[in-house]
Amino acid sequence: MNKARFRINGRQGTAGDRRTGGKPVVCYLLFIIYVLFCSPLSAQYQGFSLGIGAEGNAITLIEGIGLGGQFAVETRLSRRFALEFRAGVSSLFSQTLDTAYSFIAMEALVYPRWYFIAPEDLAAPGIELFAGAGGGVLATVNNLDFHESRGSPEVAAIAGARFRLPHNFYVEPYIRAGYPTLVSLGVMGGLRFPAPAEETVVERVVERVVEVERVVERAVEPVVETASVEQVLTAAGTIHSVYFAPEVARFDGLEEAVITQNGETLEEILRLLEENPPVRLLLEGHANPVYGTEEEQERELLPLAGNRLTYVVQTLVDRGVSRERLLTVAWGGRYPAVPKEDRENWNQNRRVDMRLLFLAPPD
């Protein structure tokens, strides 16, 4: 009985030819290498993304064409450099003069990527262009005889565009070329997980300085002189804070230790104001951002921060501090002390910060 014939790696073979090996083991090793190289310990780590997609390809290993699916994990090691692990399965068809054959192809590759067009803000919607090259392994299995398999190292270059959409979604058309996958055209879609933004101390202080100067300039009751950057920076080095319970603008609902700490903080402020008559006091009201939306900020956090300020100001005035020495600004949830993911320490966001300002007292 004649055996069906087909072409593998440029030579004639038969359906009886068999070659098995450790292709799955190679795939696992590739993924382990990828994970080791993509540790988020990178100083410029920008996050990662997960994607799935579809592509059409032509594979010289069996001289066939096919259609399949792809899964990709990309770790962004910097703004321009990334490393991607990609795995795919394709259904391939090969045609000889008298017979058609069907195969399943499985591949795993690791791609270094270079984003030669990459905006500064990777979390915002936009367009990026990339190119890269990598390698891995490709294996094919005959649909009619699963014991018959072929494997080959795989090298490929890739180029494409990434369209970053709102809510961290993305769409990515691309083209691949190499061996034994001659050419592939596909589109990937998925979700990005940007690294949490980490403001440096200098960035945070400078931003607060600008905002505080604006507040001082706009202040009408009472009228005060504008603080210089140097003055506010000096004040920014000494922060005295009192804390509040959730959705509360008084010291009610707190543990006894926190109430005691708040009292000691206010006593320290009263002592500093008494010993330094030229010193003014800037009070900044904060609230905890649960959702981080503009609606939450405007409707809930700003009013709550304002009420907390009113309570602390009234407490100080009742203890003999002139209202004209106090300047207030409500930030709401704009400057949390801990990120919203750190639920255990949300209590640090429910606070009023007090900073000493060395401004000339009003006449």
State the pLDDT at residue 360: 45
| CB-CB neighbours of 71 under 10 Å | 16
- Which band of pLDDT confidence, cut at 50, 70 and 90, is reported for residue 133? very high
Tens digit of each residue's pLDDT (9 = 90 or more) over 295-331: 888 889 989 998 999 999 999 999 999 988 888 888 8
State the pLDDT at residue 358: 62
Tens digit of each residue's pLDDT (9 = 90 or more) over 145-195: 656 677 888 999 999 999 999 888 999 999 999 988 888 899 999 998 887
CA dist 64 and 95 (Å) reads 7
The average pLDDT across 96-106 equals 70
pTM: 0.49
CA dist 354 and 328 (Å) reads 9
N- to C-terminal Cα separation, the chain: 112
CA dist 186 and 182 (Å) reads 14
CA dihedral 45→51→54→58, nearest 10 degrees, is 30
Q: Are 286 and 332 in contact (CB under 8 A)?
A: yes
State the pLDDT at residue 331: 86
Tens digit of each residue's pLDDT (9 = 90 or more) over 218-260: 443 333 334 444 544 455 446 899 999 999 999 988 999 999 9
Domain 201-357 has CATH 3.30.1330.60: yes
State the pLDDT at residue 151: 80
State the pLDDT at residue 148: 65
CATH fold match for the domains 5-194 and 201-357: no
CA dist 63 and 58 (Å) reads 7
- Domain range annotation of the chain: 5-194, 201-357
Lowest-confidence segment of 31-35, 140-144, 245-249, 342-346 by average pLDDT: 31-35
State the pLDDT at residue 147: 60
Strand 169-179 relative to strand 149-164: parallel, antiparallel, unpaired? antiparallel
**34, pLDDT greater than 80:** no
Q: Which residue has the higher pLDDT, 80 or 231?
A: 80
Domain 5-194 has CATH 2.40.160.20: yes
